[in-house]
Amino acid sequence: MSNSRIYTIRKSATLDPGKIMLPLLFVNKQFGYSVETIFRKIHSAPEVHLGTDVTFPNTIEEYFWIHEGQQGKEPWIALGLLNNGIYFLFSAYMISPTGSFFKNGHMNLWASTRFSDLIQFAMDSTIYSLYLENTS
């Protein structure tokens, strides 16, 4: 795969928000995954403020792509737009195939006012390949 990436918004033909709900249910300070602890800064992107825990994931306006994960095997991934015009990439995975996200997982949230920042800086080559395979 070359280093050039497609920066236009691509979308899945079918989207089922239920496939990303399991990890999103744990995005809450009481479960150890506050927005502040999972937010990853994109250093070249404009400063983004997501507010308190009540903003994400409650302010998701549109999903562009959702990848359903498997405990201990594959990450859950969601790419989309928040209702304030900020694009987001969310990923979550469980280390062990049993249990829940309590002390058994990891989450990341990247956000930018520029969609291209997520493609270029937040997606590793594996996530980018999955994105291309499942969107058009």
Q: What are the pLDDT digits (tens) for 97-109?
A: 888 888 889 999 9
Helix (H, G, I), strand (E, B) or coil at 104: coil
Integer angstrom CA distances of residue 52 from 16, 35, 119, 123: 26, 7, 25, 24
Tokens of 29: 């300070």
What confidence tens digit (pLDDT) does each residue in 32-67 have? 899 999 999 998 877 887 765 558 999 999 999 999
Tokens of 89: 């990439």
